Structure formats: C-alpha cells, structure tokens
Amino acid sequence: MATHFTLSLSPSKPFKNSTFFTKNPFLHFKKPLFITSFQSPQPAAAAVVQTFWQWLSDQDVVSAKTPAKPGLVPQGLGLVAQRDISRNEVVLEIPKKLWINPDVVAASEIGNVCSGLKPWCRSEEELAELQGTQLLSTTLGVKSYLQREFLKVEEEILVPHKQLFTSPVTLDDFSWAFGILRSRSFSRLRGQNLVLIPLADLVNHSPDITIEDGVYEIKGAGLFSRDLIFSLRSPISLKAGEQVLIQYNLNMSNAELAVDYGFIEAKSDRNMYTLTLQISESDPFFGDKLDIAETNGLGEIADFDIVLGNPLPPTLLPYLRLVALGGTDVFLLESIFRNTIWGHLELPVSRANEELICRVVRDACKSALSGYHTTIEEDEKLKRKELNPRLEIAVGIRAEEKKVLQQIDKIFKQRQSELDELEYYQERRLKDLGLVGEQGEIIFWESK
C-alpha cells in the first residue's frame, strides 16, 4: 500500500515573528536563552539601581512609601517588598508618560540609548549542548530571523538615516534590542499591543504562583483624569524583604520559557515535544484529506504538543489515521461519509492503517532519539552537578524531550501489541447491521 505519510519530530514549530506580539501576555526581565546582556558586579549594580530609583523619584513615580523597590535578588534584579504587602495590594503604578510603546518610538528620533550594555548571542559551543533538541531548531530559527530583519533595517533605516545614530548599530545591538523587547515588554493590555514599563519590568516569575489574571492592568489615573497608569498587584501576601513575584504564563512549555526568559521549571507539565504531521501534496487523495482536516479545525500541516505524563491530544490519532488512509480504506473519503468520517477516524479504521501509524510514529521517535549526543542517564548525572545556568537549561531540555519521546514510543508500542485485539471499521459496521454473532462470527442470512 502506498504511504503518502509525512511525520516530523524535529525541527520544532518554526519561529514566526507574529507570535512575538501575541503569544505571551507578559514578557519579563530574565535574559532570553539566545541573547543576554552583561551582569555587572553587585556594587556597580547597586549604584545603578539607586540612580534609577532617584530618577523615578524625580519623576514623582515613587516615594519612601512605595511598597516595593528594585533590589538584588537570586535572579539578578527584582522587586523587593519594603513593608508587609497583602494579597492583591497594588505594588506599583507607572504613568503613561514613562511607557515606551510603538507610538512613543515612532514620535521620537532614534538614538543609541543602551551603549552601556554589551549584548552577545549564544555561542556555537553552547548551541552544541542543544544538539538534537527542538529548542535548538527554534533558537537557530530566531537567530536566522534576526539576521534577515537586521539586513532589511540596515538597508532601509540605518544607512539612509545614519545621522540619527551617535554610533554604528550592529547586528549585536539589534539582537540585544530584540531580546529586551521580547523578554521585558507587556502585551495584550487595554489599547496597548506592546509596551515597556520601567520598574514594573523587573518583576520576576515564580512557578509556585498559579494566578495570572488581574495581576496587572491599565486603568485611569483618577476619577477626573484622562491619564492612564499601569498598575501591578501582588498575587500573594508578602513580608517585608520578600521578593514580589508573579506567574508569567501557565501555558508555556519549558522550551518556550528558555527561549523567551532564560530559565526552565522542574514541573513535568512544562515538558513537551511537538509532533508535526503533514498531508503530502503527492497523495492522490490530497484534496479530500485536506478538506476533511480543515472541516475539523486542522490543516495540511498540524502540530501536536505532547506533554510528559499526559494522554495524547484527542485529535492526534484521527489526524494520523486520515494522513495514513489508503488502499481499501479510501472508500471512507467518498462524499457520502463526509459528515461522519471524523467519527470513524476517532476509532481504528483497519489493521493496515493502525499498523502503519504505529510503525511510522515509532520510527520517527527512534530517529529523533538518535539525534541526541547524550542519554537520559548521562543527563540525569549531569543535573546532579553544579552547572552554569545555560548548560543547566540545555541538559534539562534535552533530558525531558527524550523522556517525552520515549513516552510516545511506549504508547505506540503498546498499540502495536494490541493490533489483533482492536475492533476496526468493518467489524463495527457488521455489528451495526446485526451480522456478527455473540462469539464474533459473521452471520450469513439465507433467503427463503
């Protein structure tokens, strides 16, 4: 039987610049995986924080009574409670005049205002630690995207308008700015698609906080004022000296957290692997299959996120069966079945079809697992050592991806062992027609 069946486990979903503005309700301070700025020694950092605080004070944004203040924390910089703070209490209010959003940028001359920070991209040696992972593909995709965008910006803005810049803007400068915007901006706020909020962007993430909604908002400055302010609340009660923390995004995977924020969590539900399925254009039934997929909310290419310890996504098996449909099973593609075919695909169609999807998925898992240069056991041993933050992320990501791949392989190995026990379409149809006896035998009706 011809198998027009494409399954990709690596690379991961391609980087798309559109997700930059919509994916994350909050983007924060910690350094992205592929871009970072230098860390100053603590005394120098403390001096910078004090200068920043004085500037905010001069702008009448903060005072001695402000509940939280920037300070040195384990993550680098963060917001520290100056007194006891109750749950849902407002911690900061930043007026719109200090926000940096697209309108502000568009109305100003472009200048080099970040010359004190020295950006750099993840080295090739560090990328080598991500060998085989979907995170590597995403990271390289971002770097490639930045290089393309920089060439466009250089041609259309930097060279023709070089008088606006006090010094040449390099790819590193552009990458650093992108990293800051991606990791420190707020989005999907009232009337604001993307905005940088000074001071508020220092708030760090806690995996222990499970509340996202209502932590920050844009609201009016007062009853008779047209001014807007950004308001940040503490989702939990705090004692003086404790760090103000929030939940960045409950739905992001560890790979996404690593790319955007430069950290991962130990929670298993953050560990996922993306299966990418595709209806081949060379499939003689491409049009019919695509129509069925689109009718059921999918498309020619479909991504399925498999989470460690969780069941398979409910639409994965039906889509797999649709993509693999061939041979004597193609009668299900006829128009008479168009309104009911998805229901049929939710159950095994035929032994040949089910055997094919099991084999293809397992082969893809084995191929993906062979792309890693370490075993899970080797990674677990490394995780028990003192690692630098970037290596710790790489080891954590590749170990958990392999666990998810092994989980997928185990699921389909189990299905392979049950192929003779499954009930397929023809058997179900015969039962519906009353042509199967109690012992499973086919009943032949003779005319009298």
425 catalytic per annotation: no
Residue 205 is assigned to a ligand binding site: yes
Among candidate residues 145, 248, 319, 372, the one labeled active-site is: 248
Residue 261 is assigned to a ligand binding site: yes
Residue 145 is assigned to a ligand binding site: no
SS3 annotation, the chain: CCCCEEEECCCCCCCCCCHHHHCCCECCCCCCCCEECCCCCHHHHHHHHHHHHHHHHHCCCCCCCCCEEEEEECCEEEEEECCCECCCCEEEEEEHHHCECHHHHHCCCCCCCCCCCCCEECCHHHHHCCCCCHHHHHHHHHHHHHHHHHHHHHHHHHCCCHHHCCCCCCHHHHHHHHHHHHHHCEEEECCEEEEECCCHHHCEECCCCCCCCCCEEEEECCCCCCCEEEEEECCCCECCCCEEEECCCCCCCHHHHHHHHCCCCCCHHHCEEEEEEEECCCCCCHHHHHHHHHHCCCCCEEEEEEECCCCCCCCHHHHHHHHHCCHHHHHHHCHHHCCCHHHHHCCCCCHHHHHHHHHHHHHHHHHHHCCCCCCHHHHHHHHCCCCCHHHHHHHHHHHHHHHHHHHHHHHHHHHHHCCCCCCCHHHHHHHHCCCECCCCCECCCCCC
Q: Could you give the C-alpha distances from 78 to 39, 60, 180, 265, 267, in angstroms and in order?
A: 14, 21, 16, 18, 23
Residue 248 is assigned to a ligand binding site: yes
Residue 216 is assigned to a ligand binding site: yes
Encoded tokens for 423: 């009930």
Residue 188 is assigned to a ligand binding site: yes
Residue 87 is assigned to a ligand binding site: no
Interatomic CA distance for residues 86 and 29, integer angstroms: 24
Binding site members for substrate: 184, 188, 201, 216, 248, 261
Active site members: 248
Binding site members for S-adenosyl-L-methionine: 184, 204-205
Binding site members: 184, 188, 201, 204-205, 216, 248, 261
